[in-house]
Amino acid sequence: MLVGTVGLLRLPDVYNRLHATTKCDTLGAGLVLLSLAVQSTASVAVRLALIIIFIIVTNPTAAHVIARAAYNTGIKPELGRRNTSD
Amino acid sequence: MDLKQILDISYELGAVLVMLLIFLSLVRALKGPTAPDRVTAISIIGTKTVVIITLIAWIYDQKYFLDIAMVYALMSFITTVGVAKYLEKGAID
């Protein structure tokens, strides 16, 4: 999650930022919740598993919807090599 | 120092670290040059808030906070999809 947030701050484009943050954040939250689930009772673990499955399903969906909205509103992705003077 | 104290301290340290990451994401939400940047940052903040609520459920030992975390995840997803649809079409229909 730390690497994903650094990517959100440093990368130059909307699509780069989505790419950096979505995977890191989904996996980070899922692993934190999984570590809490393995040391709890069964009913709590079931609820945590529901939250994990929900996050894994919905987070890439939200990123896809944001990327499609950004592309359809005319934001072009940056192509080619990055300017090294930045 | 027994195991329970170590676990409590680790929960609090994790919650504080995720809170700092929320502030870093808020920087992008404030200065993002386009609207999808801001929507991305808000979506990420929502996911991190679910983690914080779960950690607080363990810190205070109140396990029904998990239901609140689940509802917050639902609300964050619906907010993100709604705002993205609004950006794309100019109306929510």
pLDDT reading at B87 higher than 80: yes
Q: A66 burial class (0-12, 13-18, 19+ CB within 10 angstroms)?
A: buried
Q: How far apart are the first and last CA of chain A?
A: 25
Interface residue B21 vs chain A (CB under 8 A): yes
Question: pLDDT of B44-57, one tens digit each?
Answer: 899 999 999 999 99
Nearest CA distance, A85 vs chain B (angstrom): 19
The domain segmentation of chain A, as residue ranges, is 2-72
Domain that holds residue B73: 3-89
Q: What is the pTM of this model?
A: 0.84
Q: How many CB pairs under 8 A join A and B?
A: 112
Question: pLDDT of A29-86, one tens digit each?
Answer: 888 888 888 888 888 899 899 999 999 999 999 889 888 888 888 777 767 666 555 4
Buried b (16+ CB within 10 A) or exposed e, A40-62: eeeebbebbeebbebbeebbeeb
Domain total for chain B?
A: 1
Interface residue B85 vs chain A (CB under 8 A): yes
Q: How far apart are CA B54 and CA B45, in angstroms?
A: 14
User: For B21, which of A5, A14, A61 is closest by C-beta distance?
Assistant: A5
